[in-house]
A and B are shown apart, each in its own frame.
Chain A
Amino acid sequence: AQSVAQPEDQVNVAEGNPLTVKCTYSVSGNPYLFWYVQYPNRGLQFLLKYITGDNLVKGSYGFEAEFNKSQTSFHLKKPSALVSDSALYFCAVSESYGNNRLAFGKGNQVVVIP
């Protein structure tokens, strides 16, 4: 079964500094990887995905993520964080067959300090 680990509970970063949110995954086949963001009392918003192809994926709101197969990682990055990026970030993985059931990480609270 697929699983995701997001090792940090909270990530604090000063506004304007680079933001990194870590994610490692475990899956038996080829992974499909996703990042979602959640604001309080809201559903999840899709940021980006990796299915195949270029390991560096660019997504919404200036975010990008790099797929690293040897390290089974898919870290989310943003070169310059904004206060409005403060939210809960979820990494998710599904296996490349079937209904594409998603397994989510526990989530990382990102706090951008003005």
Chain B
Amino acid sequence: GAVVSQHPSWVICKSGTSVKIECRSLDFQATTMFWYRQFPKQSLMLMATSNEGSKATYEQGVEKDKFLINHASLTLSTLTVTSAHPEDSSFYICSAKRGGTYEQYFGPGTRLTVT
């Protein structure tokens, strides 16, 4: 149990376009989902925390208008990178947590390349 999927697994887009990444908890209800960004050979940086049905809480330095997060249901959260630029190229990883528990279950990640 506790499987989290992400779609797509990789995406290439042109500069100035927007791209949406989906994060789904497949076999449990996730009251909280997290979005991370990981640069090559570096740690995960938390971008935002989203609770189902409410607005996401963004970490300091993360542009909320650029990285739109929607947590519309207990099994789905989406991250939309708007007006993408090459510096947005990164590995984006989501995680999901059941209510009342402590561990986060991570998706396989999405590799975004902006050309």
Q: Bound pair: A and B?
A: yes
Interface residues of A (CB under 8 A from B): 32, 34, 36, 41-46, 49, 51, 90, 94, 99-107
**22 A–B contacts from the bound complex (CB under 8 Å):** A36-B106, A41-B109, A42-B109, A43-B93, A43-B107, A43-B109, A44-B44, A44-B93, A46-B103, A46-B104, A49-B103, A90-B44, A99-B32, A99-B49, A99-B97, A100-B32, A100-B97, A101-B34, A101-B49, A102-B46, A106-B42, A107-B42
Q: Is A51 a contact of B102 with CB atoms below 8 Å?
A: yes
B105 at the interface (CB under 8 A from A): yes
Q: Which residue of A lies closest to B105 (CB)?
A: A46
Q: Given A44-B106, A46-B106, A99-B57, 8 more contacts at CB 8 Å?
A: A43-B4, A43-B107, A43-B108, A46-B104, A94-B102, A99-B32, A104-B44, A107-B42
The smallest C-beta distance from B28 to any residue of chain A, in angstroms, reads 14
CA distance A109 to B51 in the complex (A): 33
Question: Which chain B residues (60-115) contact chain A, with CB distance < 8 Å?
Answer: 91, 93, 95, 97, 102-109, 111
The smallest C-beta distance from B36 to any residue of chain A, in angstroms, reads 8
Instruction: Indicate whether A106 sits within 8 Å of B43 (C-beta atoms), given known contacts A32-B102, A46-B103.
Output: yes
Within the complex, which residue of A44, A94, A99, A101 is in contact with B51, where a contact is CB–CB below 8 Å? A99
CA distance A102 to B44 in the complex (A): 10
Residues from chain A with Cβ under 8 Å of B34 in the complex: 101-102
Q: Is B43 a contact of A107 with CB atoms below 8 Å?
A: yes
CA distance A111 to B51 in the complex (A): 38
Residues from chain A with Cβ under 8 Å of B107 in the complex: 43
Q: Is B43 a contact of A42 with CB atoms below 8 Å?
A: no
